[in-house]
Amino acid sequence: MIKEKNIETLYDVFDESATLLYQQSKLPYLSGIVRTCENILAHSVENEDEEIKKQLEEKIDSISHIEFHKEEIRKAFQYAVLKGLKHQKISNQMITPESIGMLMSYLIHKIYDVNHLRIYDPLVGTGNLITAIANQIEKDVSLVGVDYFGQSYELAQALFEMLGYGDQVFFQDTRTSKNINADVIISDFSAVQQSEIYEIINHQSQNIKANGFFILMVDNLFFEALNVKAFIEELNKEWYLFGMMILPQEVFITQEKTILILQDKGDKFIQPDSFMMVEIPGFKEQNALENVIGQLNQWFAKTKFYRYSDKG
């Protein structure tokens, strides 16, 4: 069970430690979060100033008796990163809203029947989306992320390690990644130039297993900026456009967004006889939201498609 008190306690350790490091040596706040993760994992602190070292050790020692839930760690880390982004006047587009992880987790539950899931995010950012999904789907998972922005790469790497998801975060242009062999690819394209989106989408056919799904979020502006018919025709060479979720405006400040669901046309691919498309109501509209989820459940129950499986 997730405890708010644990989230607050861990956040305070991130925040106070990063602030202390900034005051000591002007180490950027976000880099201070990464350093704090390293200290927690190593159960030790390296610092030339004995007084600062003692204070940092005391903060780490204060949480040594707590067994944190993975979601407590992710949330505390996210809150600290949000503060750091604001402090450094960096856009918070690197962090995907909580509700998007919930929707993508729901979709994965419906379209996958597996014991183990290899999840890849080609635009991993700070790692919040992929780890939120991994924490929610209750399956054995392995995670892979790629990012070309140094600071977000370091943050994602730190978060992966804090959560015990390994160190498979790579610093490179996502268009150079190959043979990731992912069961599912998930991503948030909010920070991507509109002109680059299709190229990145198409490239991921080199990283997905046969019949796997690619679940991604794009700005609605993307559809306004292209010839949709031509886009779908080109997309269909590698992928099948399986469905769309139009997201509520309340989740985003600047731009409405949509989740696209693509499926690789592998040897077991079955084209559904209907297109999955829904408009998600506001997340505070509980009755309306439950109604839409009910409609989706019915669609999945009655529609024939290849549900990705590793069970033969």
Q: Please, are residues 244 and 218 in contact by the beta-carbon 8 Å criterion?
A: no
Is 88 a residue whose pLDDT tops 80? no
- Beta strands in the chain, from DSSP E residues, in sequence order: 112-113, 116-121, 140-147, 169-171, 182-188, 208-219, 239-246, 257-264, 276-279, 308-309
pLDDT of residue 299: 97
pLDDT in tens, 227-269: 777 888 888 888 999 999 999 887 777 788 999 999 999 999 9
Q: Can you tell me the mean pLDDT for 267-289?
A: 91
DSSP secondary structure letter of residue 100: H
User: Rounded distance, CA 116 to CA 114, Å?
Assistant: 6
Q: 4-90: what fold?
A: DNA polymerase; domain 1 (1.10.150)
Q: Can you tell me the mean pLDDT for 169-174?
A: 96
Higher pLDDT, 13 or 283: 13
CB within 8 Å of 223: residues ≥ 6 apart: 258
User: Rounded distance, CA 40 to CA 35, Å?
Assistant: 9
pLDDT of residue 235: 87
Q: Among candidates 306, 298, 195, 302, which has minimal Cα distance to 240?
A: 306
Is 225 a residue whose pLDDT tops 80? no
pLDDT of residue 48: 86
Confidence of residue 224 (pLDDT cuts 50, 70, 90): confident
Is 93 a residue whose pLDDT tops 70? no
CA distances (Å), origin 44, targets 64, 71, 288 = 11, 24, 50
User: Rounded distance, CA 114 to CA 312, Å?
Assistant: 10
Sign of CA dihedral 284, 290, 291, 292: positive
Q: Please, are residues 35 and 84 in contact by the beta-carbon 8 Å criterion?
A: no
Q: What is the mean pLDDT of the chain?
A: 92
To which CATH superfamily is domain 94-309 assigned?
Vaccinia Virus protein VP39 (3.40.50.150)
Domain boundaries, the chain: 4-90, 94-309
Looking only at the bridges linking them, the beta strands covering 208-219 and 140-147 are unpaired
User: Rounded distance, CA 115 to CA 169, Å?
Assistant: 23
pLDDT in tens, 7-16: 999 999 999 9
Q: Can you tell me the mean pLDDT for 50-79?
A: 96
Residue 6: which H helix or E strand, with range?
Answer: helix 4-25
Q: Name the token pair of 300.
A: 């999945």
Is 27 a residue whose pLDDT tops 80? yes
Least confident stretch, 59-73, 76-90, 114-128, 288-302: 76-90
Higher pLDDT, 232 or 71: 71
pLDDT of residue 56: 95
